[in-house]
Copies of this chain bind each other. A is one copy, B any other.
Amino acid sequence: MIRIGILGYGNLGRGVECAIKQNDDLELKAVFTRRAPGTVTILTEGVPVYAAADAAKHADEIDVLILCGGSATDLPEQTPQFTSLFNVIDSFDTHKRIPEHFDRVDQAAKQGGKVAIISVGWDPGLFSLNRMYANAILPNGVDYTFWGKGVSQGHSDAIRRVKGVKDGKQYTIPVEHALEEVRSGKNPDLTTREKHTRECFVVAEEGADLAQIEQDIQTMPNYFDEYDTTVHFITEEELKKNHSGIPHGGFVIRSGKTGWNLENNHIIEYRLKLDSNPEFTSSVLVAYARAAYRLNQEGQTGCKTVFDIAPAYLSPKSGEELRKTML
């Protein structure tokens, strides 16, 4: 059994807990929290909740620690800190800052003799893998990434800051026509507006000016002004009933040419359609936790990304079983 620890018990941490339950070779050993441990109730019976500050004391009980904090402030500190003591997995998703995060984590992991796998999830993560495989196979081509249909947390937060808005949720929706053009091999140049639309479900405060709210949302710079945005006003009950989920997904497509005179076109498309963004991300984290453990058992150390991990390390099956059943 591979003994897993979870650091941070929000949506992602709970998702990791659920994913561990589905994997017979993994065992949840402890949850670490920055809240008062006594106030945190987890789903798995008999598993202790400890203070994050006490994690070092439990280093011997944990094979891989899955870091479930945020990318803005938690992970830049936590991943280097904890990989000096644990093999770790994180879902660091600030694309631009990945190189510096990698360097800091790599140094700490090597000093600690541990393996850290960073930026695990679906984007970065599975989408990155598909971009990379497709680029290696079709060097002459164009990449497209579409997101959705799904809830954007950042855009939902932006709606809630608009005057007169009590609550709200925003969906990012890929434009079907643009997808079809890409799939046709035409390699279109697509503007921001042509790729995605945005749909908002808004609960207004009593007596609020609905037309003003709609305009404030649709013209909001950076968030909405470059998109065709639809605003629906609904009741608080409707929001709870129909929009409490956290679905997401998207498409990574590469359109590329082969042949002596580039006469043939090929489309490689990868699509995710997820009922729960955090639970799916957690499922990816858990598969890579298995890989981190195995790599460290083989004597490897340092920081890795999904690009550096041979696929077989993610599976509980042996090489022989994989060749027999999946190849």
Contact = CB atoms under 8 A, between A and B. Distances in A.
Contacts of A267: 249, 271-274
A133 B272 contact: no
Interface string A255-280: 00011100011111111111110011
Interface string A284-322: 100100100000000000000111111110111001101
A56 interface: no
Contacts of A324: 98-99
Contacts of A98: 323-324, 327
A31 interface: no
A239 interface: no
A43 interface: yes
Interface residues of A, number: 71
A136 B308 contact: no
Nearest to A290: B136
A177 interface: no
Given A131-B326, A266-B283, A310-B310, 11 more contacts: A18-B260, A126-B133, A128-B327, A132-B311, A132-B312, A133-B311, A183-B273, A269-B270, A270-B270, A270-B271, A307-B312
Contacts of A164: none
Contacts of A307: 310-312, 315, 319, 322-323, 326-327
Contact of A326 (B135, B268, B280): B135
A22 B259 CA distance: 9
Given A43-B260, A323-B102, A326-B128, A269 B271 contact: yes
22 contacts: A18-B259, A98-B327, A129-B311, A132-B312, A132-B322, A133-B314, A136-B314, A136-B316, A137-B280, A138-B283, A258-B280, A264-B275, A266-B272, A266-B274, A267-B274, A269-B270, A307-B319, A307-B327, A308-B310, A308-B312, A309-B311, A310-B310
Nearest to A312: B307
A287 B137 CA distance: 6
A324 B282 CA distance: 24
Contacts of A70: none
A140 interface: yes
A119 interface: yes
A113 B3 CA distance: 37
Interface string A149-168: 00000000000000000000
Contact of A276 (B264, B271, B311): B264
Given A258-B280, A265-B275, A274-B266, A287 B320 contact: no
A37 interface: no
